[in-house]
Amino acid sequence: MSADVDLLKRRAAERAVELIESGMVVGLGSGSTASHALRRLAEFIQMGKLHAVRGVPTSQRIEQEARALGIPLIELDDMTGIDITIDGADEVDPDLNLIKGGGGALLREKIVAQASRREVIVIDESKLSPKLGTRWAVPIEVVPFGWRSQAGYLESLGAKVTLRELNNAPFHTDQGHLILDCHFGQIEDPISLAARIKARAGIVEHGLFLAMATEVIVASSGGIRRITRGTD
C-alpha cells in the first residue's frame, strides 16, 4: 500500500469516528482501515472527548489491539445490539453492496454487521466498482472437513477457486475454518449467488455483504465524501 493511499484511508477512518457518541456500543472492524479508526477512537477516549464507549471486536487481532489501546470491550452476547460499526471493505458497488473478507474475519464481521443499527464502511476510491467481482474474489469460509467437495461445488457455480494460504500452509480463521477465494468475475445477481452459496452444507459463510452498509465514507485525492444508501 502506498503512503498516499494509507493517508487517505486514515483520514476517512478518522471522519467515521466522529460519528461515534458517548455511551455507544461500537463494532470494531478488522483490516488496515479499521485499525486507523481504532487508534482514533482510543485517542478520543484518552482525551475525554468520548466516555462510556464499549467496543465489540470482529477478530482476535483487533481484540488484542483494542485492549492494548485501552478501549473497553464487551461481549456481543451481553447487549441487545450495536449502535454503530466502523469497518472496511474490499469492493463496493453502486448499491453499497460489499465484498469483505480479505483479512479472513468475514464471519465475525458479518455477525457484528447484522447486529448493528448502523454499518459505516470506510474505503479509498479504488474500492469502488461498477459490479461486485470486478476486481476482487469472494472469500468463502468452509469447514476443513470435505473442503475439496465445497471447492468443486463452487466451481460448478462458475468460480475459479483458490485455497488461501499463509506462510505456505492453509490459512485458518479465528474459528479454525479455511478460506476459499472464489473468482466469479463480475457478479450480475449477487442475491441469487449468495443464496446458492449458502445452500451447501460445509460452507459456513461468504464475503458478500448485501444490503448491510448504511453508508460508505470514500477517501480520494479530491477529498472525502459520504454516500448513504439510496444516493450516489
DSSP character at residue 109: H
Q: For strands 160-163 and 203-206, give the pairing.
A: unpaired
- Reported as type and span, the H/E element at residue 123 is strand 119-124
* Residues 6 or more apart whose Cβ sits within 8 Å of residue 221: 4, 8
In terms of Cα–Cα distance, which of 96, 89, 162, 155 is closest to 127?
A: 89
Backbone angle region of 67, left / alpha / beta, with phi > 0 → left and psi within -120 to 50 → alpha: alpha
Query: 132 with 93: CB under 8 angstroms?
Result: yes
Is residue 75 part of the annotated active site? The answer reads no
- Reported as type and span, the H/E element at residue 16 is helix 3-17
Cell output for 129? 466498482
| Catalytic choice (65, 91, 109, 119) | 109
Q: 41-57: string of b/e by CB count within 10 Å (b at 16+)?
A: bbebbeeeebeebbbbb
* Residues 6 or more apart whose Cβ sits within 8 Å of residue 127: 89, 90, 91, 92
Active site residues: 109
